[in-house]
Amino acid sequence: MKKAVFPGSFDPITSGHVDIVKRAVPLFDEIIIAIGVNTSKKYLFPLDQRIAWLEKVFENEPSVKVDSYEGLTAHYCKNIGANYMLRGLRNASDFDYEKTISQLNSIVGDGLETLFLISRPSFSHISSTIVREIIKGKGDASPFLPPEIKI
């Protein structure tokens, strides 16, 4: 069974995340969107809210599950029996960062493979960071959010 973990903060989920997951659905038997919880990091939205949004967006995708975890992503993947990690690449800085992390994860995760999907041009400008700034500034973030999410 081909099982992949799509890890992230999803603070909040954006249309860019949704596009990556939907494009990966035909590639895996199961995709677990996993929210990494770092107790020393401050999030804009509580974990329960982020989980609820992910579940709503993917309620009609039976192979997509939602979970959360603490600790190393590579250990989480091993614990749940996932041999693949899914990540999205928007630009060269994503690539530089992700390249190192995937090489480390291959060692820490004992051969864990990372699969990268390049962002489609219509989503490559979208990030949760920008969306949070728009929300904090009382702007309209809806062009960057899946239609199921109203903030």
Contact between 67 and ligand ADP by CB under 6 A: the answer reads no
Under rule CB under 6 A, how many of the chain's residues touch ligand ADP? 17
Q: Which of 4, 5, 16, 33 binds ligand ADP (CB under 6 A)?
A: 16
Rank residues 14 and 105 by Cβ distance to ligand ADP and give the closer one.
14
Residues 107-146 that bind ligand ADP (CB under 6 A): 119, 123-124, 126-128
CA angle 138, 55, 34 (to 5 degrees): 90
Cα-Cα end-to-end distance for the chain:
36
Least CB distance to ligand ADP at residue 138 (A): 22
The verdict on whether 41 is a catalytic residue reads: yes
Contact between 105 and ligand ADP by CB under 6 A: the answer reads no
The one catalytic residue among 3, 65, 90, 132? 90
What residues make contact with ligand ADP under the rule CB under 6 A?
A: 8-10, 14, 16-17, 20, 87-88, 90, 94, 119, 123-124, 126-128
